[in-house]
Structure 1
Amino acid sequence: MNSPAVPPEIAQWFAGRGWRVRRHQAEMLAASDAGMHAMLVADTGAGKTLAGFLPTLAAFTPSRIADGARPEGLHTLYVSPLKALAHDVQRNLLTPIEEMGLDITVETRSGDTPSDRKKRQRSRPPNVLLTTPESLHLLLSFEDSFTLFAGLKRVVVDEIHAFATQKRGDLLALALTRLQAIAPDMQRAALSATLADPEAFRGWIAPWGDVDSVAMVEGEEGADPQVEILLPEEERVPWGGHAATWSIAQLYERIRANNTTLVFTNTRFLAEYIFQHLWDANEDKLPVGIHHGSLSKEARRKVEGAMARGELRALVCTASLDLGVDWGDIDLVVQMGAPKGSSRLLQRIGRANHRLDSPSRALLVPGNRFEFLEATAAKEAVEEGQRDGEDFRPGGLDVLAQHVMACACAAPFEEKALLAEVRSCWPYAMIDEDTWSRVLEFVATGGYSLRAYDKFKRIVRGNDGVWRLSHPEQAYRHRMNAGIIVDSEMLEVRFRNGRSLGKVEERFAASLRTGDTFQFAGVNVEVEQLKDMELIVRASSKAAMIPSYGGLRMPLTTHLAERVRHMLVDRAGWARFPDDVREWLEVQDWRSRLPSPDNLLVESFPHAKRHYTVYYTFVGWNANQSLGMLITKRMEDLGLMPGGFVANDYSLAVWGLKPVEDPRPLLSPDILTEEFIDWVQDSHLLRRAFREVAVIGGLVERQHPGKRKTGRQVTFSTDLIYDVLRKYEPDHVLIEAAWQDARARMTDIGRLGDLLDTAAERLEHVTLDRVSPLAVPVMVMIGRESVPQGAQDDELLLEAETLAGAAMRVEDLPGLPPD
């Protein structure tokens, strides 16, 4: 039965389509009618977006308007993390509006919106505006924002899990506080399908953290997803590699057997790589497309339109299509490689069928044996309804500085009133007056060390104690440069004579120090300096300390890592694994030990005249990469003559000329104090983090009238300022913000700390005469440059067979065969 609160026009529209108003949709409407905010957690295909908009549609129905006036002006804001999602929602929202005959105007606003339309939207806004956090922030920076939003009745935040715990979430939380101040009766609604901790997000969406003002609405249960793991038909599950190109022939047959297949990859390169392999196998010339963030707007829109019209048989994509895009005729979702999280996998699975009563079908394609375990863990987590996600952390000070500047652009402000407003949102609820004063001082002068320079003076405080812009042009400059997303740069690797070897991601280069060696383009090179977005190197006869590196990597969630660890010690559960995977674990159990959830297993063994130590950490690539840097530094100090390390999500392999008799001194928790600080400061991690916070905080501008600074120019500017602040003002607010980013995002310091605590209490060190079966997946990465990731999978497999032959021999032989 429909709730009495549902207007007849809406009930009739549902009935005409053979649908019913679902319980959670009616409850969202009832919560709005009761004047409450709301949080909806419902499965994909449950009609979440329509539930979020139901109060808006109801407000425009003739039965609700009766003799009253139709709502005028901007009534509802819809905020999503993706431009594609906003455009998709616009398409799907217009259908019920037109079929019900409602007089509602709907438009989108993003960075792609023409400037003339943006200008018109401020003076003659639509009733419903679909936008992103960044575009909303810019709207709030205009003087007319108070008029524009004065009558705002509702804000719908879609896919809240995708950005609430990040800096974009900080920006949106601050925007919501400003909107609430302008329109005190504004209602907030948040939507998601994959929340591990709904109560925390409920606090995030609530004004002043008043969770009692937020109605918690749970969606009706839908059909359980059908998840399958693809295995090689005749061969074994691969030892190494990530691209899973072994599956192309089988994958192509699945595409042929289905109407539309969505193929997810974890990186943009892999999207291109898999797309090309599918085209090579595409004997039937099926229409297959590709979609990722590096493609032009026109190319993305063309593909999105083709999918919406049902013209493609398959689409290879990245996280650019993770969220909410409603293409109802997709009947299979494929995940290439490990999913890295149960919530992420569930979100991607939900793109199939997109109907609550029909099961979504998904196919997981692991690239290697550890990825098979991870895929199994994710599959079982989805079946059990277990979710994972990032924890909340204090709001970024660089984001707060950007918000303060936006407020000043809109109107003069009194600092205590703005502080109270800022404290009303979850990420900044605990900000103290000293930090607040430092942020204001930074926006006003750039900070103590920079206050002598007029270019950093953006706001001033008058005799009346009110802050205002130092000059009207500051508003124009702010709007040109505001934003949270700072594009990752590619750095040229070249010799001092100018010869170029190619490009690496800046994230990798930022982790290097002068003197570090790594393998690139088949050559061992030593770092001389990082200068002006170029990594200057020289040929080296030293062993490559860091022989491989990865592209942008999705982090393995703690929840999924723990599930894999439990699998490893659940010997009875191995029966459900393929024979070769079960044999792999059985020989590991016989020859060495297995990592457990309660210990840190470390193995040491000789190979090819070097001594290897493998740490089974399960803390993800970022943390393992950082730990490798720290361990090799300690090995140098202890005279163990380290040669290098290589890491994946599950383990870290370090080698040297002398054996590690006891790994405990290398893993003592104090490694995260002085040595960690020294390493971060000697590397370019902190310098890179500073550049990002300087751009976000408005200290360095990327855009000038008629031109945009190159990445090299931005780096040059921020490096100069960074050196000044490090020397004269090390406690500057942006140095603090950069440290927060470097510790949390670039090194995953929290997981490292937990790992070292475990090592201090429950470390198990096993000395072996040769490589163990569990070590093979990380050992095959040694000496293999992983950019482009996947391109050398065939060579990896050959190397794996050699190593595996030694690791899996159960007869008592004296050692490994020579390389």
Structure 2
Amino acid sequence: MRDLPDTIHHWFSDRGWSIHPHQQEMLDRSADPATLLIAPTGGGKTLAGFLPTLAELSEYRRDTDVIHTLYISPLKALAADIKRNLMAPISEMDLPIRVEDRTGDTPASRKRRQRAAPPDILLTTPESLALLISYEDAPRMFAGLQRVVIDEIHALAESKRGDQLMLALSRLQAICPGLRRVGLSATVEDPDSIAKFLARHPDPCHILTADPGPEPDISMLDISEATPPWAGGGAAYAIPAVLEEIKRHKTTLIFHNTRAQAEIFFHNLWLANDEGLPIGIHHGSLDRTQRERVEAAMARGDLRAIVCTGSLDLGIDWGDVDLVIQLGAPKNVKRLVQRIGRANHRYNAPSKALLVPANRFEVIECQAALEAVQAHDLDGENRGPGPLDVLCQHILIAACAGPFNAQVLYNEVRTAGPYAKLAHEDFNDCLEFCATGGYALRAYDQWQRLKQDTNGQWHLRDPRSARLIRMNIGTIQDTDTLKVRIRRTRGGRPLGEIEEGFAASLTPGDTFLIGGQIVKFESLREMVVEVSRDKGRKPRIATFMGTKFATSTQLSLRILHILDQPDWPELPNHTRDWIALQNKVSRLPENRHLLIESFPHEGREHTCVYGFAGRNAQQTLGLILTKRMEDMGLAPLGFVSTDYATLIWGLEPLIDPSPLFDADALRDGLDQWLAGNALMKRTFRASATIAGLIQRNTPQARKSGRQATFSSDILYDTLSKYDPEHLLLRITRQEAMRGLIDFGRIEGMLARIDGRIDLHRLERVSPFAAPLLLEAGRTPIEGSAQERLVAEETARLMRAAGLAD
């Protein structure tokens, strides 16, 4: 067992602390090439990750101007938070250790100084690291690098940001062969998979699991008296109960799945906040200064509640939070566990959380999520091999740093876990694309970026292009947004951002919510939305994009399992009555059968397909089925999808569904639909931007979304016509299939039902189909009357169908 240095040992002793077993084991295994630590939130995993660094830096004198430890965070705010928490013990122990962060918010002057005189510990993000390794002096800057600590590694492993990070680490490992890697997480559903993602292939990775601590205190809000509506996502019915919970606790985090829902709920909560409790709002569309103000007030304990989104999902230590409320179905068990961990962020203190379903069906989903948490059944989807558009960007980054040998770079890339099985042919295709743009584009100078010298080394054709490449590093595809400012002067106070499309729909006098404030649109000047405050008016709700999560496969199967239980004992009476009514009027969906309902409604024939495949897959299913129904003469008029069903309406009833669900025919229908669909162009635009074919940022200005779309559409049409097997078109098809289309889950559904399709012809709408009818006929309803009007429409629909409860 390795002893703590005296300085650190005394620091622990002076506080009456003792080192946790997993922290001691991290110290003992500090020489391992890779270690994955899975520890509960509040269990001191960040300190465990840094203990070997603090021990080494406190015991040995070392050369200055080289980085010893690199800390990677998926969030800029998390890096800043770690800096605050790390500087406290370093200062208290009087250790001569310099810690700095480097993110997109870091001033340029400090960035230049960090390259010349790096700190001992550098805290950064995947994008900033990718930029650092693109410089010629990267080998000097990282020459003394000993360890890299990756926080919240599960979040990075789920996205292209993680793929880019692993490629950057393969470059660092080539510079520093003895580099040791540490991954930290509280929520890992497949430790072996994350370990392979983290470690240098084929090096081993030790998996260390800490004592999970006490079970979380998690339950569903008592809604036996306040009945949730059949449809809708605002959960206005629960505001009185939520306010009571806020009063009973010190600090409450109220998580929402989208920014729009967070804004609406915050507005309604504030209107009902008669006692004037200090409540804030935090999400990614707010201005950075406003977010930081909320974060500081939260850390001081000045706020009783914060309405938030995924911007507070990860491991930031926010003051004395003792309750988490998840408003709306969580959609993903792993995300729910991560959010629960924000409450009682201390070792061996149980987290406390309440789930608040927004509508009747979400009651079932929340119950399924509760059971999954209690069973420690985390969900996750296999992402497959590393994407080639990210590899193309990495090749360009390597060229910025200096000449490279293609075979050496290929071998280096294959040490990155996501690219361990990369075929040489695919690497060569990426290299050829980076060098010439590919067959159809090689005649254009702007895509002639690399050339090979007589020694076989590849380098930039024009060294000046390195600046443009660096300006476009990253894999995050931002929605095109415009700044929102209070109209006073040209430098009015910033409030945040809204989508370009939403801004284009505004006319002077329109009102909307941002940051919990009602503002009135005044003008659009120089790509800035100028507004004024407008108290007392009903707002037009800003449709912030945010992330629209799809219910995970595991959670969907748990929902089907609950529906298969007799009498549904764990559910409240109003939901049991609703399920019983569905069973009486029609049937309940089953795991191994596909339930399809057919019924007339308001002069149209409706078909409802209960696939439970998630929103993206159900949307894709609707697109394919309507095309096939049109070919069959059923005259479909439209469709709408949720996570669990697709509702199609048209002129003719469905008699025999079997021909619609032939797997080969569905795939053929998908290919035909994709060939002429705008979705492929949007997917192409994203991949082409990551791969470097399209530059959003230039030394002159950032291209607007419209400009980028125009240029990418031309490129897509050109390649489709003259080079249909172009690398980027292949990437686009792969991305579409596993991204927005999610066809794999449709195939999984078909395998699950294995041809067992139950068509039920009904005389009227069923209880489970009713929410989709509401969604199908629902246009944006302005202001705070939204939930009341939806409720009135629900009641009217139910009375018309004879289903009123």
TM-score with structure 2 setting the length: 0.90
Equivalent residue for 1:22? 20
Distance 1:192 1:786 in 2: 40
Pair 1:757-2:748 in alignment? no
Distance 1:434 1:809 in 2: 61
User: Structure 1: which 4+ aligned runs deviate by more than 6 Å?
Assistant: 503-507, 548-551, 787-791
Q: CA contact under 8 A between 2:403 and 2:459: conserved in structure 1? A: yes
Deviations 1:412-464 (A, max 9, x none): 00000000001111211122122111111110111111111111111111111
Equivalent residue for 2:524? none
Q: Which amino acid aligns with 1:556?
A: T
Distance 2:591 2:783 in 1: 30
Q: Which amino acid aligns with 1:22?
A: H
Q: Which has the larger displacement, 427-436 or 469-478?
A: 427-436
Matches within 5 A, 1:56-75: 56-61=53-58, 64-65=59-60, 69=62, 73-75=66-68
For residue 801 of structure 1, report the CA deviation from its aligned partner.
2.3
Deviations 1:11-51 (A, max 9, x none): 3322322322111111111111x433200111111111111
Q: CA contact under 8 A between 1:669 and 1:760: conserved in structure 2? A: no
Distance 2:191 2:83 in 1: 27
For residue 786 of structure 1, report the CA deviation from its aligned partner.
5.5
Distance 1:296 1:810 in 2: 45
Report the secondary structure of 2:776's partner residue: coil
For residue 718 of structure 1, report the CA deviation from its aligned partner.
1.1
Q: CA contact under 8 A between 2:260 and 2:545: conserved in structure 1? A: no
Distance 2:642 2:604 in 1: 20
Equivalent residue for 1:44? 41
Equivalent residue for 2:316? 325
Report the secondary structure of 1:449's partner residue: coil
Equivalent residue for 1:698? 692
Equivalent residue for 2:196? 203
Aligned residues: 751
Q: Which amino acid aligns with 1:99?
A: E
For residue 658 of structure 1, report the CA deviation from its aligned partner.
0.9
Pair 1:773-2:767 in alignment? yes
Distance 2:416 2:82 in 1: 27
Report the secondary structure of 1:247's partner residue: helix
Equivalent residue for 1:736? 730
Q: CA contact under 8 A between 1:288 and 1:313: conserved in structure 2? A: yes
For residue 759 of structure 1, report the CA deviation from its aligned partner.
4.8
Q: Which has the larger displacement, 795-804 or 235-244?
A: 795-804
Report the secondary structure of 1:155's partner residue: strand
Q: Which amino acid aligns with 2:39?
A: A
Equivalent residue for 1:638? 632
Equivalent residue for 1:526? none
2:443 corresponds to which of 435, 447, 452: 452
For residue 799 of structure 1, report the CA deviation from its aligned partner.
2.3
Q: Which amino acid aligns with 2:409?
A: L
Deviations 1:542-597 (A, max 9, x none): xxxxxx9997411211111111010000115x122111111111222233221122
Equivalent residue for 2:476? 485
Equivalent residue for 1:215? 206
Equivalent residue for 2:790? 796
1:579 corresponds to which of 562, 570, 573: 573
Q: Which amino acid aligns with 2:750?
A: L
Equivalent residue for 1:228? 219
For residue 796 of structure 1, report the CA deviation from its aligned partner.
2.1
Report the secondary structure of 1:263's partner residue: strand
Q: CA contact under 8 A between 2:224 and 2:574: conserved in structure 1? A: no
Compared with structure 1, are the counterparts of its residues 788 and 76 closer, same or farther at alpha carbon in structure 2 (3 Å cutoff)? farther
Pair 1:554-2:580 in alignment? no
Q: Which amino acid aligns with 2:763?
A: D
Compared with structure 1, are the counterparts of its residues 35 and 636 closer, same or farther at alpha carbon in structure 2 (3 Å cutoff)? closer
Report the secondary structure of 2:347's partner residue: coil
Compared with structure 1, are the counterparts of its residues 91 and 310 closer, same or farther at alpha carbon in structure 2 (3 Å cutoff)? same
Q: CA contact under 8 A between 2:599 and 2:762: conserved in structure 1? A: yes
Compared with structure 1, are the counterparts of its residues 777 and 629 closer, same or farther at alpha carbon in structure 2 (3 Å cutoff)? same
Equivalent residue for 1:7? 5
The share of aligned pairs that are identical, in percent, is 48
Equivalent residue for 1:304? 295
Q: Which amino acid aligns with 1:610?
A: R
Q: Which amino acid aligns with 2:589?
A: P
Equivalent residue for 2:115? 122
Q: Which amino acid aligns with 2:361?
A: F
Q: CA contact under 8 A between 1:74 and 1:151: conserved in structure 2? A: yes
Matches within 5 A, 1:155-170: 155-170=148-163
For residue 806 of structure 1, report the CA deviation from its aligned partner.
6.0
Q: CA contact under 8 A between 2:220 and 2:366: conserved in structure 1? A: yes
Q: CA contact under 8 A between 1:108 and 1:130: conserved in structure 2? A: yes
Report the secondary structure of 1:254's partner residue: helix
Q: CA contact under 8 A between 2:609 and 2:646: conserved in structure 1? A: yes
For residue 282 of structure 1, report the CA deviation from its aligned partner.
1.9
Equivalent residue for 2:51? 54
Pair 1:82-2:75 in alignment? yes
Report the secondary structure of 2:184's partner residue: strand
Compared with structure 1, are the counterparts of its residues 142 and 809 closer, same or farther at alpha carbon in structure 2 (3 Å cutoff)? closer
2:618 corresponds to which of 624, 633, 647: 624
For residue 260 of structure 1, report the CA deviation from its aligned partner.
0.9
Distance 1:555 1:483 in 2: 25
Distance 2:795 2:202 in 1: 56
Distance 2:280 2:562 in 1: 37
Matches within 5 A, 1:460-499: 460-489=451-480
Equivalent residue for 2:136? 143
Pair 1:292-2:289 in alignment? no
Q: CA contact under 8 A between 2:224 and 2:572: conserved in structure 1? A: no
Distance 1:153 1:558 in 2: 40
Distance 1:28 1:679 in 2: 52
1:603 corresponds to which of 575, 597, 608: 597
Equivalent residue for 1:187? 180
Equivalent residue for 1:714? 708
Deviations 1:303-336 (A, max 9, x none): 1112112121111111011000112400111111
For residue 204 of structure 1, report the CA deviation from its aligned partner.
0.7
Compared with structure 1, are the counterparts of its residues 147 and 672 closer, same or farther at alpha carbon in structure 2 (3 Å cutoff)? farther
Equivalent residue for 2:520? none
For residue 756 of structure 1, report the CA deviation from its aligned partner.
2.9
Report the secondary structure of 1:394's partner residue: coil
Deviations 1:731-773 (A, max 9, x none): 1111111111111111111101122334552212222221222
Matches within 5 A, 1:222-301: 222-232=213-223, 234-301=225-292
Matches within 5 A, 1:302-701: 302-489=293-480, 552-572=547-567, 574-701=568-695
Q: CA contact under 8 A between 1:275 and 1:290: conserved in structure 2? A: yes
Equivalent residue for 1:154? 147
Distance 2:499 2:721 in 1: 30
Report the secondary structure of 1:60's partner residue: helix
Q: CA contact under 8 A between 1:60 and 1:70: conserved in structure 2? A: no
Q: CA contact under 8 A between 1:505 and 1:551: conserved in structure 2? A: no
Q: Which has the larger displacement, 423-432 or 39-48?
A: 423-432
Distance 1:310 1:161 in 2: 29
1:726 corresponds to which of 720, 726, 748: 720
Q: Which amino acid aligns with 1:205?
A: L
Report the secondary structure of 1:742's partner residue: helix
Equivalent residue for 1:498? none
For residue 787 of structure 1, report the CA deviation from its aligned partner.
7.9
Report the secondary structure of 1:168's partner residue: helix
For residue 703 of structure 1, report the CA deviation from its aligned partner.
1.4
Q: CA contact under 8 A between 1:158 and 1:192: conserved in structure 2? A: yes
Distance 2:741 2:480 in 1: 19
Q: Which amino acid aligns with 1:243?
A: G
Q: Which amino acid aligns with 1:31?
A: R
Distance 1:127 1:60 in 2: 8
For residue 805 of structure 1, report the CA deviation from its aligned partner.
4.3
Compared with structure 1, are the counterparts of its residues 382 and 196 closer, same or farther at alpha carbon in structure 2 (3 Å cutoff)? same
For residue 717 of structure 1, report the CA deviation from its aligned partner.
1.2
Distance 1:793 1:149 in 2: 56
